[in-house]
Amino acid sequence: MAAFEYLALDTSGREKKGIVEADSQRQVRQNLRDQNLTPLSVKVSEKKVGEGSGSLFSSFLKTSLSVNERALLIRQLATLIAAGLPVEEALLAVSKQGNRNAIQSLVLNVRAKVLEGYSLAQGMADYPGAFPALHRSTVAAGESAGHLDLVLARLADFTEVQQASISKVKQALVYPIILLVLTLAILGGLLGYVVPDIVEVFADSDQQLPWLTTAVINASDFVVEWGGLSLVLILAVALAIVRLLRSPKIEMSFDKKLLSLPVVGKLSLGNNVSQFASTLSILTSSGVPLVDAMHISSEVLSNTWLRSLVLDATNRVREGSSLYSALDRSGYFPPMMLHMIASGEASGELDQMLSRVALHQEADASMILNVLVSLFGPLMLVLMGGAVFTIVMAILLPIINLNQLVL
Tell which CATH classification among 1.20.81.30, 3.30.10.20, 3.30.1490.20, 3.40.50.12160 matches the domain 62-160.
Answer: 1.20.81.30
Asked if the model's pLDDT at residue 190 lies above 70, the reply is yes
Question: Among the listed ranges 99-103, 233-237, 238-242, 268-272, which one has the minimum average pLDDT value?
Answer: 99-103
Confidence (pLDDT) at 318: 92
Which ranges in the chain are annotated with CATH 1.20.81.30?
62-160, 161-407
Q: What residues does CATH 3.10.20.730 cover in the chain?
A: 2-45
Q: What pLDDT is recorded for position 2?
A: 63
- What pLDDT does 173 receive? 78
- Give the C-alpha distances (Å, rounded to integers) separating 156 from 70, 148, 161, 178, 333: 9, 12, 9, 33, 27
Residue 202, pLDDT above cutoff 60: yes
What sign for the dihedral angle of Cα 155, 136, 162, 358?
Answer: positive
Separation between Cα atoms, residue 211 and residue 208, nearest integer Å: 9
- Across the beta sheet with 15-22, what order do the strands follow? 15-22, 2-9, 38-44
In this structure, the number of other CB atoms found within 10 A of the CB of residue 40 comes to 13
- pLDDT higher than 60, residue 55: no
| pLDDT higher than 80, residue 200 | no
pLDDT grade, residue 62 (50/70/90)? very low
For the segment 244-253, the average pLDDT, to the nearest whole number, is 86
376 pLDDT more than 50: yes
Domain 161-407 fold: Receptor-associated Protein (1.20.81)
CATH class of 2-45: alpha beta
- Host H or E run for residue 142: helix 133-145
Check: CB of residue 155 under 8 Å from CB of residue 282: yes
Phi, psi of 335 (to 5 degrees): -60, -40
Residue 355 has pLDDT above 70, yes or no: yes
Residue 49: pLDDT over 60: no
